[in-house]
Chain A
Amino acid sequence: MNGLIALVPIPTPNMDLGQIAPLEIVFGAALISVLVEAFVRREGRRRVQLVLVFASLIAAVAALVGLAGTRTLTAQASVAVDGPALFMQGTVLLLAIVGALLIAERSIDPAGDAFAPRASALPGGREERELTAAGWSQTEVWPLFLFCVGGMLLFPASNDLLTMFVALEVLSLPLYLLAGLARRRRLLSQEASLKYFLLGAFSSAFFLFGTAMLYGFAGTFSLGGIADALSGNAGDNGLVMLGVALLAVGLLFKVAAVPFHQWTPDVYQGAPTPITAFMATCVKVAAFGALLRVMYVALGGVRWDWQPMLWIIAIITMLVGVIVAIAQTDIKRMLAYSSIAHAGFILLGVIAVSEAGIASTMFYLAAYGFATLGAFAVVSLVRDSSGEATHLSQWAGLGKRSPVVAGIFTLFLLAFAGIPLTSGFTSKFAVFSAAIAGGATPVVIVAVFASVISAFFYARIIVLMFFAEPAEEGPRVVLPSAFTALALAIGVAVTVLLGVLPQPLLNLAQQAGIFLR
Chain B
Amino acid sequence: MTPNYYIVLSALLFTIGAVGVLVRRNAIVLFMCVELMLNATNLALVTFARVHGNLDGQVMAFFVMVVAAAEVVVGLAIIVTIFRSRRSASVDEASLLKY
CB within 8 Å of B: which residues of A? Answer: 1-2, 4-5, 8, 119-120, 122-123, 162, 165-166, 169, 173, 176-177, 180, 186-188, 190-195, 197-198, 201-202, 205-206, 208-209, 211-213, 215-216, 219-221, 265-266, 269-270, 327
Contact = CB atoms under 8 A, between A and B. Distances in A.
Nearest to A209: B41
Contact of B48 (A177, A193, A215): A215
A68 B91 CA distance: 47
Given A194-B79, A198-B34, A219-B52, 18 more contacts: A5-B53, A5-B54, A122-B85, A166-B67, A187-B96, A191-B96, A197-B74, A198-B30, A198-B75, A202-B21, A202-B37, A205-B37, A205-B38, A215-B57, A219-B48, A219-B54, A221-B56, A221-B60
Given A169-B70, A190-B78, A270 B97 contact: yes
A162 B18 CA distance: 22
Contacts of B7: 216
Given A2-B50, A173-B70, A212-B48, A269 B97 contact: yes
Contacts of B18: 202, 205
A2 B30 CA distance: 37
A194 B82 contact: yes
A197 to B, nearest CB: 5
Contacts of B63: 162, 165-166
A169 B7 CA distance: 25
Given A176-B78, A205-B38, A195 B21 contact: no
A212 B41 contact: yes
19 contacts: A4-B53, A122-B85, A162-B56, A162-B60, A180-B81, A186-B85, A191-B96, A193-B82, A197-B74, A198-B27, A202-B34, A205-B38, A212-B41, A212-B60, A216-B51, A220-B54, A221-B56, A221-B60, A327-B99
Contact of A162 (B10, B59, B75, B86): B59
Interface string B66-79: 01001100110111
B87 to A, nearest CB: 11
A266 B7 CA distance: 36
A205 B64 CA distance: 10
Contact of A169 (B67, B94, B96): B67
A120 B81 contact: yes
Contacts of B47: 216
8 closest cross-chain pairs (CB), A and B: A219-B52, A205-B37, A216-B48, A266-B97, A212-B44, A191-B94, A1-B53, A201-B34
Contacts of B40: 209
A138 to B, nearest CB: 13
A173 B53 contact: no
A82 B7 CA distance: 36
A26 B60 CA distance: 25
A267 to B, nearest CB: 8
A215 B18 CA distance: 21
A188 B71 CA distance: 22
Contacts of A190: 78, 81-82, 85
A143 to B, nearest CB: 14
A193 B77 CA distance: 11
Given A194-B91, A219-B54, A201 B71 contact: yes
B94 A209 contact: no
A242 to B, nearest CB: 9
Contacts of B30: 198
A180 B78 contact: yes
A191 B48 contact: no
B49 to A, nearest CB: 8
Nearest to A186: B85
Nearest to B53: A1
B89 to A, nearest CB: 9
Contact of A205 (B17, B86, B94): B17
A205 B41 contact: yes
Contact of A165 (B44, B52, B67, B84): B67
Contact of B14 (A5, A188, A201, A209): A209
A473 B51 CA distance: 70
Contacts of A194: 27, 78-79, 82, 91, 94
Nearest to B57: A215
Contacts of B60: 162, 165, 211-212, 215, 221
Nearest to B37: A205
Contacts of A208: 37-38, 41, 64
A67 to B, nearest CB: 27
Nearest to B7: A216
Contacts of A192: 97
